[in-house]
A = this chain, B = another copy of it.
Amino acid sequence: MTRLYKKTRKQVGLPPGTIVFLGEKRIEKTRITLIDYDETHFQEKIVENIEECFPFKDEPSVTWINIDGLHDVELIEKIGKHFDIHPLVMEDIVSVGQRPKMDNFDNYIFIVLKMLFYDERKNELQAEQVSLLVGKNYVISFQEREGDVFDPVRQRLRNQKGRILKQGADYLAYALLDICVDSYFSILEKVGDRMEFLDGAIVENPNPENLQEIQTMKREMIFLRKSVWPLREVISGLERLETDLIKESTDIYLRDVYDHTIQVIDTIEALRDMISGLLDIYMSSISNKMNEVMKVLTIIATIFIPITFIAGIYGMNFEFMPELKFQWAYPVVWCVILAVIVGMMTYFRRKKWL
């Protein structure tokens, strides 16, 4: 989770609007995919030069240009120029530590959000910044690397049926938002599973790794919260936007995504509460273990210390110790010792220590 505070902004002092990519380079070569569709046709291709996409800007069909990889600054500048994007927006696209946000311009809407993955191998949450430029009849999406959660949308388009083909670019943008928010649910599910597993493990046998795990989950929840809270404003902002770019019929769908976002936030808050409960369990399990250790020590010590004393007494070398001469002294001492042991045992049993 080092990403939480790692450098994600441009070098301090560069003029605003300077497009400098400072994230990790997560893909070798920028990959551009073009999808163009309307109710009657569908076209999908991987393009080599971004210029191939430009003619689609002015066609009435919906065009979705997806860019994987943000390090090719020149390419991004070309897009900015052709689509008439504000330099600050271009800067935000390549600055990968952005907070989710939405900005409304005359001819396009700019949306930043987080796509989240759960890396099963590293048992670690990973994030990728996704930027959407939503124009009249195009959507341009920027991602840090290949691989995303958008495949089901692509599949729906390829099938060439369903509501999505009849709707405009705003509906496509909604579909992409929706699928991102949907994917948060599966993240939360995984966090929930790990939490349930931890819960059992801690009660059984608490150890410092559990604490590490709890802390990691806590930080992941902090990170998730940072990523999802602002999304709420983004989506309710989209709903309330007075713009031609979003048709009224799309509003109800945005309302639906909004509801899901609230649900995600609710669940995050609930999980946070439960994680702090885990910490309580951990702490008290440690206390319990310590208690048990102390009890064993106390039982052993309090039983043997007195009888060792008795043995010590008759180990003394005084010349005038009448007991030493008695024939039955030794067995009597053993009886006394047994009596002490039995007495102690009874006492502990009454105290419920045994």
Contact = CB atoms under 8 A, between A and B. Distances in A.
B259 A101 contact: yes
A255 B88 CA distance: 10
Interface stretch (A35-43, A44-52, A120-128, A176-184): A176-184
A226 interface: yes
Q: How large is the interface on A (under 10, 10 to 19, 20 to 34, 35 or more residues)?
A: 35 or more
B321 A205 contact: no
Nearest to A18: B162
Contact of A282 (B86, B284, B292): B284
Nearest to A151: B13
A255 B222 contact: no
Greatest chain B CB density within 10 A among A16, A203, A296 is at: A16
Contact of A309 (B205, B279, B304): B304
Contacts of A317: 314-317, 321, 324
A186 B179 CA distance: 34
Nearest to A328: B320
A203 to B, nearest CB: 6
Copies of this protein in the complex: 5
B13 A149 contact: yes
Contacts of A253: 16, 88
Given A2-B196, A149-B12, A319-B324, A189 B7 contact: yes
Interface string A207-228: 0100110010011001100100
A201 interface: no
Given A296-B298, A305-B301, A189 B5 contact: yes
Given A6-B189, A256-B88, A318-B329, A298 B305 contact: no
